[in-house]
């Protein structure tokens, strides 16, 4: 790879590394808080996120070093941007609501997935298959974690409502149907309009 390509990929790898490092810090704090609460599915989801993000950070760090970059090179502006993007997650672990913390994780994972997709496109189009492979795994992991949050959110919201003294109707099945039909419809492409 030529120096110009190396510089571009190294910068974007550094951005991704900073983003995922900040996300990992926030999720690790959420895990500590959730260990003291009685929401085992939320704790399990956050622990899975923590393990996955740690793997991503390690992989990105190794790839940066392999191409002669550094996770700390030019990080000042990247950290500032990442910190802004992750601010909601940092605040969410202080919240009493596990559902709000997972909502913020969902937002982070969407940002992380899109950053991974952009880096995958960049690196693959410039011939850096090794970087593309690493961030492809990252993208797939984010999609899996987002779906996991979708699966547990209805029951978690209902449990929190019960803990707050409400007697909610158990409509989790309807919520799961909404999730399933929405993602199925989205994956089949745009709806076609029929002529009147």
Decide if 9 contacts 123 (C-beta within 8 A): yes
pLDDT value of position 25: 93
Residue 49 CA to residue 109 CA, distance in Å, equals 9
Residue 91 CA to residue 93 CA, distance in Å, equals 6
DSSP letter (8 states) at residue 192: P
Residue 195 has pLDDT above 90, yes or no: no
- Classify residue 25 as exposed, middle or buried by CB count within 10 Å of its CB (0-12, 13-18, 19+): middle
Mean pLDDT of the residues in the chain: 88
pLDDT value of position 42: 96
Claim: this prediction has a pTM higher than 0.85:
yes
pLDDT value of position 187: 77
Q: What pLDDT, in 10s, does the model give residues 113-151?
A: 999 999 999 999 999 999 999 999 999 999 999 999 999
Residue 105 CA to residue 30 CA, distance in Å, equals 10
Q: What pLDDT, in 10s, does the model give residues 26-61?
A: 999 999 999 999 999 999 999 999 999 999 999 999
What CATH number does domain 3-145 carry, 1.20.1260.10, 3.90.1150.10, 2.30.30.230, 3.40.1710.10?
A: 1.20.1260.10
Handedness of CA 110, 112, 114, 117 (dihedral sign): negative
Q: Return the closest-CA partner of residue 12 out of 102, 109, 116.
A: 116
72 vs 158: which has the higher pLDDT: 158
For the chain, give every domain's residue range.
3-145
Q: What pLDDT, in 10s, does the model give residues 160-173?
A: 999 999 999 999 99
Q: What pLDDT, in 10s, does the model give residues 73-123?
A: 555 455 555 555 565 555 545 556 899 999 999 999 999 999 999 999 999
Residue 63 CA to residue 129 CA, distance in Å, equals 11
Question: In Å, how far from its chain's centre is CA 148?
Answer: 11
Question: In Å, how far from its chain's centre is CA 118?
Answer: 14
pLDDT value of position 85: 56
Can you say whether residue 63 is alpha, beta or left, with left for phi > 0 and alpha for psi between -120 and 50 degrees? Answer: alpha
- Classify residue 155 as exposed, middle or buried by CB count within 10 Å of its CB (0-12, 13-18, 19+): middle
The CA dihedral of 174, 92, 44, 131, to the nearest 10 degrees, is: 100
């Amino acid at each position: 790879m030529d120096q110009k390509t190396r510089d571009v990929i190294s910068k974007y790898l550094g951005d991704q590394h900073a983003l995922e490092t900040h996300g990992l810090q926030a999720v690790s704090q959420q895990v500590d808080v959730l260990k003291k609460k009685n929401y085992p599915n939320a704790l399990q989801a956050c622990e899975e996120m923590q393990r996955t993000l740690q793997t991503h950070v390690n992989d990105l760090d190794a790839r940066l070093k392999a191409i002669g970059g550094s996770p700390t090179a030019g990080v000042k502006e990247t950290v500032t941007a990442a910190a802004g993007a992750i601010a909601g997650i940092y605040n969410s672990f202080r919240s009493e609501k596990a559902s709000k913390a997972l909502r913020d994780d969902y937002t982070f994972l969407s940002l992380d997935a899109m950053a991974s997709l952009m880096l995958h496109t960049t690196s693959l189009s410039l011939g850096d298959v090794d970087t593309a492979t690493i961030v492809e795994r990252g993208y797939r992991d984010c999609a899996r974690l987002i779906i996991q949050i979708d699966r547990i959110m209805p029951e978690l919201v209902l449990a929190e409502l019960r803990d707050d003294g409400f007697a909610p109707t158990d409509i989790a099945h309807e919520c799961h149907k909404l999730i399933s039909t929405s993602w199925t419809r989205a994956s089949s492409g745009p709806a076609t309009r029929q002529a009147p």
